Structure 1
């Protein structure tokens, strides 16, 4: 009987010790969980959560191409979103959020210029901080070398709209312009009033010019600029059938009136806006103004590029903030 009591006493003492140890372990485990929860609360959202929140804040919707009542065909503009996966991969090594390391990707709109019915184009998208120099060339070849040097110095490209019979006389100069990275456009063959031509004659002017430009430069124009800005719906339709958009301008230098360089520059800078197409010719006024004009356009945070690049949906991206995209 005494042995049994002893065994019971030992068993009770063992059980008490077991529960005491277990309770300590459980208490320690709970305390550890509590500490982890407090740390998580103090350290804020995870890196991935921060990136996901930034992605929501920085999302910019794409804008469709449209026909405007005043400006006619206006190109679309890509939207913008943060690539969460790539941004996370770039930041996870340091384990902290860095705005400068956000990676963006562009979202195309659903409606593009090519989806619209044929219509003239006067400008690019107003949200695109870019302008284009549209230089119509039917004479003035003596001023082209100096203008090309200025463009080269500033590492920018323009669109030169060639008259066909001018290219026939100056194929080497036309090729030099294209070889320098500039865009070549169609400006008719004989510089007629396109609004007075039959559809057949208008087509002949465009086709003949395309052939001579392609023969001289190896490139086929995608843009048509009607002489003096004169056209009809049939002109635009004919150009469309030949794979060309009809483009005009929003800012005219009126350089053929021989303004002083100061007058030309002030005229352009006072009227220029994002998306503007600036009409020029190879004249003494434009040649003398070009360097300062480009500097002032850049000072207004406007990129200068070809008309086709202006009309593209590609965004000009700034990584500093979504408001500047």
Structure 2
């Protein structure tokens, strides 16, 4: 088959355009994969929404009271649990899920994940997912690495297990057990649109929650589940 000069030029132009489209599409898809792997510190900045996350590896004695406050305040949070804790307290894991809160993955043994090889990081996440699913029939989709640590290996482990890494915008540092007013002040001083608030199940945090939620709402913030915050 032969082309005239004009048709040949048109064919080459069309082929070039197709090649450019293919390259752009591949680059865009690659960028999307990279974005999905990146740790999330914040939701959509354009929306006046925030989320509450609670990392749980201890504090089971305070969890029922915390759940009661959240229930009365009509707030859904995300509880990131370690596998070892979930295995010891399946009834609390189930209760969190039954009340409509999301359960996230906090690794199995709360290790320093940056020191672990890929295979061990994957095992930490998978074991925790299995324990939580047995207790609450809920699959974990988000991973909060212990101590907020991450590197390329941790990011890859989360990706291979189908999890997105969640960090925080505001750290209450409540594990140091400061007074409730100080916890509330830290949140209100550091909060911003799309903010992710990090907490732990402590007596002081539970006492701080009602006033904190009230003040956030007075500032015009909507407290939403993590999934909604990220999706925008």
TM-score bracket for the superposition, by shorter chain length: 0.7 to 0.9
Query: Which of residues 286, 293, 311 is equivalent to 2:205?
Result: 286
Q: Aligned residue pairs: how many?
A: 204
Deviation at 1:234, TM superposition (A): 1.4
Q: 1:273 aligns with which of 192, 205, 208?
A: 192
Is structure 2 residue 141 aligned with structure 1 residue 225?
Answer: no
CA contact (8 A) 1:193 1:231 kept: no
* TM-score normalised by the chain length of structure 1: 0.61
Structure 1 unmatched ranges of 5 or more = 1-109, 314-325
Q: 2:91 aligns with which of 147, 163, 172?
A: 172
| CA positional deviation for 1:205 | 0.3
What is the alpha-carbon distance in structure 1 between the residues aligned to residue 35 and residue 118 of structure 2? 21
- RMSD over equivalenced CA pairs, Å: 1.7
Summarize deviations over 1:138-197 as a string: whole Å, max 9, x none: 000111111111111111100000110001000010010011000000000000000000
For residue 312 of structure 1, what is the aligned residue in structure 2? 231
Equivalence for 2:12: none
Structure 2 stretches lacking a partner, 5+ long: 1-28
| Kept in 1: contact 2:118–2:156 (CA 8 A) | no
Q: Rate the CA distance shift 1:216–1:137 in 2: closer, same or farther, 3 A.
A: same
- Given the superposition, is the C-alpha separation of residues 113 and 186 from structure 1 closer, same or farther in structure 2, using an over 3 Å criterion? farther
Q: Corresponding residue for 1:136? A: 55
Conserved 8 A contact 1:163-1:190:
yes
Tell me if 1:190 matches 2:190.
Answer: no
Residue 13 of structure 2 is matched in structure 1 by none
Q: Which structure has the larger Rg over C-alpha atoms? A: 1
**Structure 2 CA distance for aligned equivalents of residues 114 and 302 of structure 1:** 30
Structure 1 residues 77-116: aligned runs within 5 Å: 116=35
Runs of 4+ in 1 over 2 A off after TM superposition: 110-117
- Asked if the contact 1:163/1:191 (under 8 Å) is kept, the reply is yes
- For residue 142 of structure 1, give the secondary structure of its aligned residue in structure 2: coil
Whether the 8 Å contact between 2:40 and 2:165 is mirrored in structure 1 is yes
* CA shift for structure 1 position 113: 6.4
Whether 2:148 is the aligned partner of 1:254: answer: no
The answer on 1:205 being equivalent to 2:124 is yes
Give the secondary structure class of the aligned counterpart of 2:198: strand
Aligned partners of 2:36 and 2:164 also within 8 Å: no
Q: Give, in angstroms, the shift of residue 116 of structure 1.
A: 2.7
Alignment of 1:156 onto 2:75: yes
Instruction: Please give the alpha-carbon distance, in whole angstroms, between the structure 1 residues aligned to 2:30 and 2:94.
Output: 35
CA contact (8 A) 1:239 1:245 kept: yes
Change (3 A) 1:146 1:111: farther
Residue 133 of structure 2, aligned match among 200, 214, 230: 214
Q: Which structure exhibits the higher relative contact order, with contacts defined as CA atoms closer than 8 Å and separated by 6 or more residues?
A: 2
Q: Secondary structure at the match of 1:148?
A: helix
